Every structure is written in structure tokens, then in C-alpha cells.
Amino acid sequence: METTPDTSGYMIAGYAIAFLVMGLYVFSMYLRHRNLNQDLETLEVISSESKPKPAPSRTKTSNPGAKKAKTSAKKK
């Protein structure tokens, strides 16, 4: 009667290789995410620099609450 060969070393090597490949994949995804965030920040800086600044308005802005208080005081 033959005994079954001990292949536990191959099983352990297979799991080690599988976990190594999965770890490299997760690390690759992390690097891609970090690079995409850096690219997004760069694009936001570039787009904010290229936008023309609005011209200052020449009309005098007043407090709308102050006008209401004046008109309600006149009605009384």
C-alpha cells in the first residue's frame, strides 16, 4: 500500500503566492487612488487660476434690513 505524498509545502506556497498577488493588487489600488487625488488637486488649482476674477461692482450695496426698518418707522 502506497502512502499519500506530503504536498502541504505546495499548499502553503500556493497560499503565500495568492496572498502576495492580492497584497500587490491592493497596494496598486492605493497608489492609483493617491495619484488620482493628486491629479484632482492639480486640476482644481489650474482651473481656479484660469478663471477670470469678477469685476468689482460699482453700485453701492446697502443693508436691506435697514431699509425695511426705515420704511416701517415711517408708516407708524
18 part of a folded domain? no
- Cα distances from 13 to residues 1, 23, 31, in angstroms, run 28, 15, 27
Please determine, for residue 37, whether its predicted confidence score (pLDDT) is greater than 70.
yes
Mean pLDDT over the full length of the chain? 84
**Rounded CA gap, 69 and 76, in Å?**
11
Q: CB 74: neighbour CB atoms within 10 A?
A: 7
Question: For 30-58, what is the mean pLDDT?
Answer: 88
Q: Please, which pLDDT band fits residue 19 given cuts at 50, 70 and 90?
A: very high
CA dihedral sign, ordered 33, 39, 43, 46: positive
67 part of a folded domain? no
Count of the separate structural domains present in the chain: 1
Could you tell me what percentage of the chain is helix, strand and coil, using 3-state DSSP and rounding each to the nearest 5?
A: 70, 0, 30
Name the percent of the chain lying above pLDDT 70: 70
Domain extent for 35: 23-51
17 part of a folded domain? no
